[in-house]
Structure 1
């Protein structure tokens, strides 16, 4: 399959090039030249398949011409070696738990699949692959663990100083080896801008073989469709056929993957984009004017994005048809005070501890059902384990968090990070002098 730029559909390239050159030369984002459809019979019989079976079937549609099926099967088995179960709060509300991977966040799906894809393509290459990534929280840890000790790769992670949780910071700054962390005095948008500038700098690209691990990379988006189909399979086993997915939304890669799955044939009634104070997309869907603004720090820090990169992909998926987007996507926005009340309410009603992002999704799903009652299942995506947010969850609730295996070792590791201003010349000098 070929991939085109959202800025120029005549600009086509193959999957390997789209993976390694995350941003097209015209600064758009790569999209598949056609949205492949899953066989309707496969979807009808989806309860017969495992998560890995579903993942392989989807992956073949996008990369089958570039990677032999046997090798792709091994990649999927190695990358997606953990579950994504639905925890039902009640008969009509389920939480899709996407935090059972090694970094305890949904980013594990994309980061692990991407790292193994890159590892496969890089086997015959001698030049070091430099992976640049900006993170607002969970991406950094997932990418760090996904690429740790992968031969021929080096990862540089940029994160905003003081704007990620302690656990998130430990995950991305304590690995050493081929993982480097840079603490930027600024916002996530500043970090993302530095990464994009590096990709568009011809001098840097002549010296370094750069690629991105952010959700701008198409190999991050594809594996995120896996768990939407897997969720549908679990619902079908419960006799549920109609679903509304509520997605905590920051950079809009997660809901973008859900919308891609919808275009591939996944039966979905609606999507709900649940947001915090960073409400650029909700304002656009209400007014028709896209007006990004500087990001605002909140308790749900992974959603603190003022100018979401993946929104251009979503608009491209729907041919910039605002009415189609308004029909399919509903939005609800919550502040920190409401988020904390959501965390408390979920625990009081269901004895379930949720991270701030999941709490926002819960509030949005509740509001949506109140506005649009029906017999559908509300499935909210839980994007991270609550253990990663000790300072954003009320103490009387956080005391009930059960640490997953591996989380207890964070405090014993030493932070390794370089502090830097949000100045591109400084960042460029670092890259060029640390080749």
Structure 2
């Protein structure tokens, strides 16, 4: 299978080449030349299948020219060696807990899968790869831990100073070794701009083999389609035959794009909800038809503080730039910090102490609102993107109770921060990259 740019002005490449490049030469994002269709027999067989079994079948059409089946099975079994749980909250509402991996965030799925693919590719190539990552929260920690000590790979993480939680910062800045963290005096959009500019810098790319582990990378995107099928299978095990509605907390919109990919591969899905905070560029597009990027606003759901989501180009690609088709399948919702806090408290009181992180709370509120507006009889699944303990500073004042910190995270908080501070100018970033290369 070949992969092409969303801007359609770059040569088609293999999966591993698309993974290594991260961004296409024309500045577009890589997507499959054709979305593979998986048989109805497979989708009807997913109840009772393990997550790695589902992941293997969904990944195979994309990677069958790159890896043997045995190698691919090993990759998915090693990458997804942690549980995925679904919590039913009544009235056909469910929460898919994607935060049981090493860093307690859904980003572990993409980071661990991608790290193992890079490891496999490193056995074929002799060149060292430098991975650039802009993060507004959990991506940094997931990538740092996923790629820690992976041979032939250096990782450079960029995060906005003072705009990630203390735990998120420690998860990405305490490892050292092949992981370098850059604390940028700016916002997430500045970090993302620096990364994109580096990929288009001819001089830099002549000296470094650059790639990315953000959701712009096709290897990060692909595994984000797997858990939609797993969740649907869990509903089918309960005797639910109608396709579900998925409510997806959305920032850079890679997670939602993964769901759309699963749907176009044949997974029966009723509808998607694009749920975000006041950085509502995509919900506004779904309402008005105008895509107007804007400066991001800082909120308590920091991973969604994105004013120009990169994966919108992939959303347009999947719908062949038809706004009407996108609106038929996706509804947009956005909420304030006050509404987010209220949802956390309401669910805590009504669901016997069940806790939602701020991002998940936004998704859940959208699911409740959509259910009320449409009176749908379909079940709704909200993707829980991070463990609530990662946002203790937000949640504890609302519930008036301390959240116990898992032992492994307590150890992380005690580790020493190792980060370099830079301004948001590209020259400062390029200088740090060149120094990284010379080590």
TM range (shorter): over 0.9
Partner SS, residue 47 of structure 2: helix
Following the alignment from structure 1 to structure 2, what is the Cα–Cα distance between the partners of residues 292 and 412?
39
Partner SS, residue 175 of structure 1: coil
The answer for the alignment partner of 2:122 in structure 1 is: 122
Moved over 4 A (4+): none
The answer for the alignment partner of 1:23 in structure 2 is: 23
Residue 12 of structure 1 and its aligned partner are, at CA, apart by 0.6
Residues 111 and 213 in structure 2, CA contact (< 8 A), matched pair in contact too: yes
Q: 1:400 to 1:101 in 2, by over 3 A?
A: same
Q: What are the equivalent positions in structure 2 for 1:170-249 lying under 5 Å apart?
A: 170-241=170-241, 242-249=243-250
Kindly provide the CA deviation profile for residues 315-361 of structure 1, in whole angstroms up to 9, marking residues without a partner as x. Answer: 10000111111111011110011110011011010020110001111
Partner SS, residue 13 of structure 1: coil
Residues 357 and 383 in structure 1, CA contact (< 8 A), matched pair in contact too: yes
The answer for the alignment partner of 1:363 in structure 2 is: 365
Matched, 1:293 2:294: yes
Partner SS, residue 198 of structure 1: helix
The answer for the alignment partner of 1:430 in structure 2 is: 432
Partner SS, residue 291 of structure 1: coil
The answer for the alignment partner of 2:82 in structure 1 is: 82
Following the alignment from structure 2 to structure 1, what is the Cα–Cα distance between the partners of residues 69 and 185?
45
Following the alignment from structure 2 to structure 1, what is the Cα–Cα distance between the partners of residues 381 and 184?
35
Residue 393 of structure 1 and its aligned partner are, at CA, apart by 1.3
The answer for the alignment partner of 2:305 in structure 1 is: 304
Q: Aligned residues, how many?
A: 435
Residues 106 and 384 in structure 1, CA contact (< 8 A), matched pair in contact too: yes
Residue 11 of structure 1 and its aligned partner are, at CA, apart by 2.5
Structure 1 gaps of 5+ residues are none
Residue 9 of structure 1 and its aligned partner are, at CA, apart by 6.3
Q: What are the equivalent positions in structure 2 for 1:4-403 lying under 5 Å apart?
A: 4-8=4-8, 11-241=11-241, 242-350=243-351, 351-395=353-397, 397=399, 399=401, 401-403=403-405
Following the alignment from structure 2 to structure 1, what is the Cα–Cα distance between the partners of residues 10 and 156?
32
Residue 239 of structure 1 and its aligned partner are, at CA, apart by 1.1
Following the alignment from structure 1 to structure 2, what is the Cα–Cα distance between the partners of residues 47 and 403?
34
TM-score (norm 1): 0.98
Residues 48 and 237 in structure 2, CA contact (< 8 A), matched pair in contact too: no
| Pick aligned residue for 2:414 from 398, 412, 415 | 412
Q: 1:368 to 1:64 in 2, by over 3 A?
A: same
CA RMSD of aligned residues (A): 1.2
Residue 61 of structure 1 and its aligned partner are, at CA, apart by 1.1
The answer for the alignment partner of 1:421 in structure 2 is: 423
Following the alignment from structure 2 to structure 1, what is the Cα–Cα distance between the partners of residues 123 and 117?
10
Residues 353 and 400 in structure 1, CA contact (< 8 A), matched pair in contact too: no
Residues 344 and 394 in structure 1, CA contact (< 8 A), matched pair in contact too: no
Partner SS, residue 274 of structure 1: strand
Following the alignment from structure 1 to structure 2, what is the Cα–Cα distance between the partners of residues 240 and 48?
14
Partner SS, residue 131 of structure 1: strand
Following the alignment from structure 1 to structure 2, what is the Cα–Cα distance between the partners of residues 65 and 125?
16
Structure 2 gaps of 5+ residues are none
TM-score (norm 2): 0.97
Partner SS, residue 395 of structure 2: coil
Following the alignment from structure 2 to structure 1, what is the Cα–Cα distance between the partners of residues 45 and 14?
31
Residue 91 of structure 1 and its aligned partner are, at CA, apart by 4.2
Kindly provide the CA deviation profile for residues 108-148 of structure 1, in whole angstroms up to 9, marking residues without a partner as x. Answer: 00000001001100124333211110000010000000000
Following the alignment from structure 1 to structure 2, what is the Cα–Cα distance between the partners of residues 158 and 164?
11
Following the alignment from structure 1 to structure 2, what is the Cα–Cα distance between the partners of residues 184 and 291?
25
Following the alignment from structure 2 to structure 1, what is the Cα–Cα distance between the partners of residues 138 and 99?
10
Partner SS, residue 204 of structure 1: helix
Q: 1:194 to 1:9 in 2, by over 3 A?
A: closer
Q: 1:9 to 1:38 in 2, by over 3 A?
A: farther
Residues 346 and 352 in structure 1, CA contact (< 8 A), matched pair in contact too: yes
